[in-house]
Structure 1
Amino acid sequence: MAHRVLVVAAHPDDEVLGCGGTILRHVAAGDRVRIMIMAEGLTSRDMSRNVDLRHDELSDLHKCAKQVANLLGAEKLRICDFPDNRMDSVALLDVVKQVEAEIDEFTPDIVYTHHAGDVNIDHFITHKAVVTACRPLPGNTVTQLYFFETLSSTEWQVPTCDTMFMPQLHVDVGDVIRKKLEILHLYESEMRQYPHSRSYEAVELLAKTRGFIIGKKYAESFMIGREIR
């Protein structure tokens, strides 16, 4: 039976960094995938938020996100307009309602989102909103909830028992890693030079690291939020 998969990411590029290979695997298996991006992705570069100032750049970034969604095989991309790296200035309920609306419309059974311990505040808010929207009320369709790691955020957090990313689920992405890296090149403006962790080399190195711990060449890893069987 085909799954309905919803990926909820804070920013354009997080969806590829966190679970791009896994998305490709789902699509290849015949599953339906939708992507939801919460924050606009650019205005945090300025001292104060000014969407008009970044209008052209935002337009280009969102066009890239649409191309990425198409190449990943997602049937739909939804980009919200929450303030970039300022999502803690928004009432959490407003974020939750956006996610709830998408879940009500799509009725996914699998949801992927950010790890709670990420240093990026938008990742944390997105995580909280998704967990709230996926709470197991009677009639909720979500039976599998997973949290991904995002380079330049997950590994930058000071490790404690509450913030450490401890992978429990591993997806072999050896057959799609090259395509993931090719798709990631559409987000060239968001990438950095190695040894910055948000670099192509680091993305491949992380996939290799997650791979060899399960005896594979490349993998993506997740923490399990909930599995209902």
Structure 2
Amino acid sequence: MNRVFVIAAHPDDEILGLGGTIRKHVNEGDVVDCLILGEGLTSRQNDRHATDKKFINSLHEDAKRSGKIIGFRQVFFGNLPDNRFDSMDLLDIVKIIEGYVNELKPNIIYTHHKGDRNIDHKITFEAVLTSCRPTGEYTVKEIYTFETPSSTEWDFSYGSNSFNPNVFIDIESSLESKLNAMACYTTELREYPHPRSLESLQIIAARWGTVVGKKYVEAFQLIRKIQ
């Protein structure tokens, strides 16, 4: 049994990036927990505090419902300022992640790709790598990054910042669960052809499937694996 920990910046990133893979882990008997660092929504106002807390609470309830569908054991919330992670000291974010890693002792971690357009995704990646340094009695043996539709593909990066997946997970049996889980996020879903539409998520999975001869796939970039 693997202990899997998903570390995402915002509510819905965990489903957009790897909902099918999470469900597959759970179906295979693994325990999967999730940390969502950012509160969500508040970047849509000029003043973070102008967002009514009831809307944030409702979004977090959506995340919990989505998490039940996809199979998370627990969903934790860091409540960091949405799209304002760069206003914080990196060390403070590292300490939050370290606390959960020390408690949960995962051996597999999934987090954001370092080259995403979204600043919170970039900082989450950096904080995860710092939190999971292979020193002392470390438990994290594998770290993977995922793409986030409406962020990764909008960076238009080349070279080292490009998303270059080298691990592909067949999610034909779990795609429906991913789409059902994403449907819980009523404030985050968009109409096709937006990348956060259900139709687009299916198309993205089909596109990665063509790369490796499968019907539906989620793609990842392996950052570290220790055997």
**Both structures adopt the same fold (TM-score exceeding 0.5):** yes
Could you tell me how far apart the structure 2 residues matched to 1:6 and 1:218 are?
23
Q: What's the C-alpha RMSD, in Å, of the aligned pairs?
A: 0.9
1:42–1:54 contact (8 Å) kept in structure 2: no
Identity of aligned residues (%): 45
Could you tell me how far apart the structure 1 residues matched to 2:101 and 2:31 are?
13
Deviates more, 1:157-166 or 1:36-45: 157-166
Secondary structure of 2:186 counterpart: helix
2:143–2:224 contact (8 Å) kept in structure 1: yes
The answer to whether structure 1 residue 71 and structure 2 residue 63 are counterparts is: no
The answer to whether structure 1 residue 22 and structure 2 residue 24 are counterparts is: no
**Residue 181 of structure 1: how far off its partner (Å):** 0.5
- Any gaps of 5 or more consecutive residues in structure 2? none
The answer to whether structure 1 residue 213 and structure 2 residue 216 are counterparts is: no
The answer to whether structure 1 residue 32 and structure 2 residue 51 are counterparts is: no
The answer to whether structure 1 residue 108 and structure 2 residue 102 are counterparts is: no
Could you tell me how far apart the structure 1 residues matched to 2:104 and 2:211 are?
35
Where do residues 199-210 of structure 1 align in structure 2 (5 Å cutoff)?
199-210=197-208
TM-score of the superposed pair, with normalisation by structure 1: 0.97
Could you tell me how far apart the structure 1 residues matched to 2:161 and 2:17 are?
17
TM-score of the superposed pair, with normalisation by structure 2: 0.98
The answer to whether structure 1 residue 131 and structure 2 residue 144 are counterparts is: no
In structure 2, what is the equivalent of residue 43 of structure 1? Answer: 42
**Residue 27 of structure 1: how far off its partner (Å):** 0.4
Could you tell me how far apart the structure 2 residues matched to 1:81 and 1:6 are?
18
**Residue 158 of structure 1: how far off its partner (Å):** 2.2
Could you tell me how far apart the structure 1 residues matched to 2:52 and 2:212 are?
43
Could you tell me how far apart the structure 2 residues matched to 1:94 and 1:54 are?
25
Following TM superposition, the consecutive aligned residue runs of length 4 or more in structure 1 with deviations greater than 6 angstroms are none
**Cα displacement string for residues 134-183 of structure 1 (whole angstroms, at most 9, x for unaligned residues):** 11112110000000000000000022212210010000000111111111
In structure 2, what is the equivalent of residue 12 of structure 1? Answer: 11
Secondary structure of 1:226 counterpart: strand
Could you tell me how far apart the structure 1 residues matched to 2:157 and 2:87 are?
25
**Residue 103 of structure 1: how far off its partner (Å):** 0.3
Could you tell me how far apart the structure 2 residues matched to 1:136 and 1:161 are?
26
Q: How many residues align?
A: 227
Secondary structure of 2:187 counterpart: helix
Could you tell me how far apart the structure 2 residues matched to 1:192 and 1:69 are?
20
**Cα displacement string for residues 184-208 of structure 1 (whole angstroms, at most 9, x for unaligned residues):** 1001210111111221111111100
**Residue 54 of structure 1: how far off its partner (Å):** 2.1
Letter in structure 2 aligned against 1:42: L
Secondary structure of 2:79 counterpart: strand
